[in-house]
Amino acid sequence: MPTGTLLDADPSGKPVDQKVYRRMIGSLLYLTASRPDIMFATCFCERYQSNPKESYFNVIKRILRYLKGIPNLGLWYLKDSRFDLTAITNVDHTQLRDFGYNYKRVPIYCDSKSAIAITANPVQQSKTKHIDVRYHFIKDHVEKGDIEMHFVQTDFQLDDLFTKSLDEKRFQFLISKLGMLNMSS
């Protein structure tokens, strides 16, 4: 999704068939398991499922054209490959234990040295008592040894691919760093 793309409620836009729109969004969401490069744009369109307009439908068509242009690009999961959890964000990681995945010392990469310092500090300072609960949650798991916090420069923050619209150069850089392969070349 190019930078500067704006979609809003579009109250005057032409409505489209909600069932077709939802099926397309569902298919794209399923595809994000191997094509995380479409995650941001797909989730952006997903927001408007309750009242889809032609403008959102056009964005979905653009995603489909992008996919058609490079059909063999993706994350390739080999049958005998190991499952290594690299990071957890906005996920209930205890659910992974229900599926039989046990892990210790999961690395989480963060571009904020201050956030890492808070998780490493064994004493809760008065300056940190008003910080969001999620930071204290992470701090607790660092102390238990479930996770490790590592600094990564902002330029190498891979989650930008999932949370921001990016220019083409940055987009291509991040999908290469993510390990996506084009099996046709």
Asked if residue 178 belongs to a domain, the reply is yes
Residues 172 and 144 in one domain: no
| 140 Ramachandran zone, left/alpha/beta (phi>0; psi -120 to 50) | alpha
Do 70 and 22 fall within a single domain?
A: yes
Residue 10 lies in a domain: no
Establish if 40 belongs to a structural domain: yes
Residue recorded with tokens 């999620």: 134
* Same-domain status, 109 and 152: yes
Q: Rounded to whole angstroms, how far apart are CA atoms 51 and 10?
A: 9
Same domain for 151 and 165, yes or no, is: no
Query: Is residue 145 in a domain?
Result: yes
Q: pLDDT tens per residue, the chain (185 residues)?
A: 656 666 667 778 898 999 999 999 999 999 988 888 898 889 888 888 888 889 889 989 999 999 999 888 888 777 777 766 565 443 445 655 666 666 677 777 788 787 778 777 756 555 555 566 666 677 788 888 888 888 888 888 888 888 788 888 998 898 888 878 777 75
Please give the backbone phi and psi of residue 67, each rounded to the nearest 5 degrees, phi first: -65, -40
Q: Are 68 and 102 part of one and the same domain?
A: no
pTM, 2 dp: 0.61
Could you tell me if residue 84 is inside a domain? no
The domain in which residue 138 lies consists of: 94-156
- Nearest CA-CA partner of 48 in 24, 66, 65, 71: 24
CB-CB contact of 77 with 36 (8 Å): no
Domain assignment present for residue 4? The answer is no
> Considering the domain boundaries, does residue 148 fall inside one?
yes
If asked whether residues 149 and 167 sit together in one domain, one would say no
Do residues 172 and 149 share a domain? no
Closest CA relative to residue 93, chosen from 37, 38, 44, 144: 144
Is residue 21 within a helix (H) or strand (E), and if so which, with residue range? helix 18-31
Domain count of the chain?
Answer: 2
What are the tokens at 170? 């940055």
Evaluate whether residue 85 is within a structural domain: no
Element (H, E) at 122: none
